[in-house]
C-alpha cells in the first residue's frame, strides 16, 4: 500500500482520531454507573443513536417523553428482545450477551433507530 501524500496524511490522521474519539465519547456519555449504559428516548429519537458496549453489558432504555409510549425491540438471528409498551418514565434494561451489531427499533415510531455494537 502506498503512503498518503504529506498534505493528506495529517487530515486523514485527524479524521481517524476524531472518529475513534467520537465513538468513545458517545459511549462515555451513555455510561451511568451500576446500571450500565443509559439511552434516552426523547422527541421520537434514541439519544445517543449508537453505542459500543462489551458482551454482558446492560443498556437501559429510558422513556423520557412525557406523553408518548415507546416499544423497543430487537430482531436478529443471534439475539431477540421485545419490551412491550413502555409508558413515559419507564426504564427497560437489555443485557447484550452475544457479540455482534444489533439494531434496536421502536415498534411505534419506525424512524427511531439505535445501533449497538457488542464487542
CATH, residue 111: 2.60.40.420
> What residue has cell string 434494561?
93
* Confidence check: pLDDT of 106 > 60: yes
Q: Tell me what pLDDT residue 26 has.
A: 45
Percent of the chain at pLDDT exceeding 90? 70
Does a structural domain hold residue 69?
A: yes
Q: In sequence order, which residues have a C-beta less than 8 Å from that of residue 23 and are 6 or more positions away?
A: 50, 52
Does a structural domain hold residue 1?
A: no
Does a structural domain hold residue 58?
A: yes
Does a structural domain hold residue 81?
A: yes
> What mean pLDDT is predicted for residues 79-97?
96
* Confidence check: pLDDT of 107 > 60: yes
Does a structural domain hold residue 49?
A: yes
Q: Tell me what pLDDT residue 30 has.
A: 54
Number of domains in the chain: 1
Does a structural domain hold residue 78?
A: yes
* Confidence check: pLDDT of 115 > 60: yes
Does a structural domain hold residue 56?
A: yes
Reported confidence tier of residue 36, pLDDT bands at 50, 70, 90: confident
Contact present, 91 and 77 (Cβ < 8 Å): no
- Find the domain containing 80 and state its range: 6-118
Q: Tell me what pLDDT residue 20 has.
A: 44
Whole-angstrom distance between the N-terminal and C-terminal Cα of the chain?
Answer: 28
- pTM greater than 0.75: no
Does a structural domain hold residue 92?
A: yes
Higher per-residue confidence, 34 vs 7: 34
> What mean pLDDT is predicted for residues 43-64?
96
For the chain, the 3-state helix, strand and coil shares in percent, each to the nearest 5, are 25, 40, 40
Give the C-alpha distances (Å, rounded to integers) separating 45 from 69, 106, 117: 12, 9, 18
Contact present, 48 and 26 (Cβ < 8 Å): yes
> What mean pLDDT is predicted for residues 71-82?
96
Amino acid at each position: 500500500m502506498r503512503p498518503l501524500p504529506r498534505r493528506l496524511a495529517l487530515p486523514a490522521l485527524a479524521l481517524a482520531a476524531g472518529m475513534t474519539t467520537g465513538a468513545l465519547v458517545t459511549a462515555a456519555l451513555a455510561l451511568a454507573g451500576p446500571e450500565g449504559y443509559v439511552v434516552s428516548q426523547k422527541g421520537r429519537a434514541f439519544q445517543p443513536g449508537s453505542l459500543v458496549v462489551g458482551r454482558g453489558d446492560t443498556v437501559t432504555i429510558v422513556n423520557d417523553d412525557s406523553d408518548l409510549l415507546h416499544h423497543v425491540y430487537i430482531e436478529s438471528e443471534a439475539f431477540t428482545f421485545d419490551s412491550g409498551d413502555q409508558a413515559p418514565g419507564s426504564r427497560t434494561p437489555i443485557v447484550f450477551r452475544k457479540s455482534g451489531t444489533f439494531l434496536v427499533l421502536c415498534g411505534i415510531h419506525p424512524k427511531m433507530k439505535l445501533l449497538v455494537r457488542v464487542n
